[in-house]
Structure 1
Amino acid sequence: MTHAPSSTTRLTVTQRDSISVRLVREALLAFERADLSGAQLLAELGLDPACLRELDGRIDVRDYTRLWLGLAQRFDDELFGMDPRRLRSGSFAFISRCCIQQPTLEKALQQALSFFGLELESFRGKLIRSQSLAEIVLRERAAEPARAFCYFTFWMLLHGLACWLVGRRIPLLAVELRCAEPEYTDDYRVMFSDNLRFARPSTRIIFAAEVLDLPVRRSEAELHSFLAEAPANILVRYRDHSSLASRIRQQLRHLPAEQWPDAATLAQRLCMSASTLRRRLAEAGQPYQTIKDGLRQEMATQWLADASVSYGEIAERLGFADVSSFYKAFRKWTGSNPGHYRNLILAPTQH
């Protein structure tokens, strides 16, 4: 990530492929001084500072990219000044080039974590593989946790790179952070997972271990294209931005699983034909069954983190006939069984 903005751009408020203005404020925070406000920084980078007045507004992801790259070039830091040591410009390109030389995602992640551990003070991660689950745990020296934006930016770089290396989105079963929950989390839930847990003993992400064995097959030409589009591509490429799928999820969340409508009834409620619904969801790569499975997985991971909720209760809440059916489905969704996930999420973090 080395290219920078050139001409003045008015930050447009959009919904699709967009970033909250709240995250723009977070990005500017570490660089603001008494003699240099966030608005002045935006103007200096050729971006319109007027957006800062619209706290609930959104900007095009391309403008957020211009901001990220401009700040990285201006301060020689690709991590928004959030670590005592700067992540110098060119660092992301360097580690990406190193990672495409690795045979598997596991080796690539170990390479990336080693690099970040050498370059940074506060973001030293360890990859731990435990049966069918894997976690990356940050070992932090500071007694006080960092801002949520700091953690999510680091995860964005690491997770975005990992997704590109294997050419697919890597679902995160849980994202845990030491810090308290910030006022705004909507973008983070879209980018990473609905299962965000705050004020935890440590900061970590949890995912299926099977993806670690996926081969890395990226060429120098593909790397060049990837870096030319970064970070916009890691901000939106691997996230679900289907508004129809989001509307359906919102409807289902307000109903018990046993009351979820069939496809024909859902289409009627959405004022469209069943064939139109199927076609639009297929075009978005989100069939109705996939949406329901994803929502059931989301709910299951939340309830499994609560030791007071039994497996039988979870199975019943999700609309399964019995516990064994729930176990089978959960393993299909995540590559892990519910008991192993519960043990990992409730156990003290490994170091």
Structure 2
Amino acid sequence: MERRMIAPCFMDDTLECLRRQGVEAAPLLAEAGLPPVITGPIPAERYGAFWHAVARTMDDEFFGEGARPMRAGSFALLCQAILSTATLEHALRRALRFLRIVLDDPHGTLVVEEGLAQIVLKDAGGPRSAFAYRTFWIIVHGVNCWLIGRRLPIRWVDFRCSAPPAGTDYRLFFGAPVRFDQPETRLVFDAEFLNLPTIRDERALKEFLRHAPGNILVRYRHDMGLSAAIRKRLGGLAPQAWPGFEELAGRMRIPAPSLRRRLKLEGQTYREIKDDLRRALAMEALAEGHANVTQLAADLGFSEPSAFYRAFRKWTGKSPAVFRRSAGAAVA
């Protein structure tokens, strides 16, 4: 079985957080079986052990980044609180209420409009660290992905704070456009996913908690698994040159039925992967001021500009022109 690894930037973020909080990292690293200096990826289970050691030492599963400490055991209680929900929307709203009671700030609200679900984070004071916001997303998005048994494709993520040194990894992790220095911190996905049913039970929860949080860092992140391999393969080609599904399976030397089944286990289809990539490319180009929408549609592999207009409106709830103007205003 492939060993799942955590990128070293996660450790860099965590160690920097401990320095800010005045916590000595060396004994906690040793307790988790980690070297005093991290120079490469580490096994997910080791990072999970380190996470638990830090949370126990600080009695805070949010590493001192909230207005109030998230006392040890809160994560398990959060999972218990949402286990009885029927849909993702029900679970998400309950999780956000729970975290507001526990943390006070930052706290999130769910806004649903124009076909999009937006988790908007609020702070009483100035911007928090990118690490704090990403930790919030890991908890909320990761747990809810586990609850419904699939990865939820993210449209885009905004951070109120400035980009950290590892900002590039943030983009890889979320698998979506990431913008820093924005008016609000938000994570956006398609509202249709809010109707998905929850599928976990008490037995599954016990197994999940045994391996948390390392399991949600690797199981539902964008750049892991077979779908990530396909994204990487397509990313090296112009969209017009992307192969059909049968041809892709042949190139990957995987029988087409097996490839389809394995993608389903990751909560993905080949069409969704291509749409995610096209959407990200389109949003990036428009945010940078790309003016020729007809040429952009052709570059993305659409046979007609009208097909691109329909797809883009479905993706974002806006026309390309409106999105370009709003993105420009946000940057300004």
TM-score category by the smaller chain? 0.7 to 0.9
Choose from 206, 215, 220 the match for 1:233. 215
Q: CA offsets per residue over residues 245-294 of structure 1, 9 Å max, x none?
A: 54654454354323446679879xxxxx6471555854642776554333
User: Who is 1:180 aligned against?
Assistant: 162
Q: CA offsets per residue over residues 158-180 of structure 1, 9 Å max, x none?
A: 00111122222111100110122
Q: CA offsets per residue over residues 275-316 of structure 1, 9 Å max, x none?
A: 715558546427765543332122123234456545434312
User: Who is 1:154 aligned against?
Assistant: 136
For 2:325 and 2:49, how far apart are their aligned partners in 1? 39
Letter of the structure 1 residue corresponding to residue 34 of structure 2: D
For 1:136 and 1:48, how far apart are their aligned partners in 2? 34
Choose from 39, 46, 56 the match for 1:73. 56
Query: Is the aligned partner of 1:116 residue 2:116?
Result: no
Deviation of 1:237 after TM superposition, in Å, equals: 1.5
Instruction: Tell me: CA distance 1:339–1:119, structure 2 relative to 1, closer, same or farther (3 Å).
Output: same
Deviation of 1:30 after TM superposition, in Å, equals: 3.3
For 1:133 and 1:97, how far apart are their aligned partners in 2? 27
User: Who is 1:61 aligned against?
Assistant: 44
User: Who is 2:29 aligned against?
Assistant: 42
For 1:112 and 1:247, how far apart are their aligned partners in 2? 32
For 2:3 and 2:279, how far apart are their aligned partners in 1? 25
Mapped contact 1:160–1:235 kept (Cα < 8 A): yes
Deviation of 1:318 after TM superposition, in Å, equals: 0.5
For 1:308 and 1:275, how far apart are their aligned partners in 2? 34
SS of 1:320's equivalent in the other structure is coil
Instruction: Tell me: CA distance 1:19–1:187, structure 2 relative to 1, closer, same or farther (3 Å).
Output: farther
Question: TM-score, normalising length from structure 1?
Answer: 0.79
Q: CA offsets per residue over residues 69-115 of structure 1, 9 Å max, x none?
A: 11111111111221231101111111211112223221221111111
Q: For structure 2, which runs of at least 5 residues remain unmatched after alignment? A: none
Q: Which moved more, 1:205-214 or 1:317-326?
A: 317-326
Choose from 328, 342, 346 the match for 2:323. 342
Mapped contact 1:25–1:38 kept (Cα < 8 A): no
For 2:324 and 2:99, how far apart are their aligned partners in 1? 29
Query: Is the aligned partner of 1:32 residue 2:19?
Result: yes
Q: For structure 1, which runs of at least 5 residues remain unmatched after alignment? A: 1-14, 268-272
User: Who is 1:21 aligned against?
Assistant: 8
Query: Which is richer in helix?
Result: 2
Deviation of 1:209 after TM superposition, in Å, equals: 0.6
Instruction: Tell me: CA distance 1:244–1:110, structure 2 relative to 1, closer, same or farther (3 Å).
Output: closer
Corresponding residue pairs, total: 323
- RMSD of the alignment, in Å? 3.3
Mapped contact 2:116–2:317 kept (Cα < 8 A): no
Q: Which moved more, 1:88-97 or 1:31-40?
A: 31-40
SS of 2:197's equivalent in the other structure is coil
Mapped contact 2:159–2:184 kept (Cα < 8 A): yes
User: Who is 1:93 aligned against?
Assistant: 76
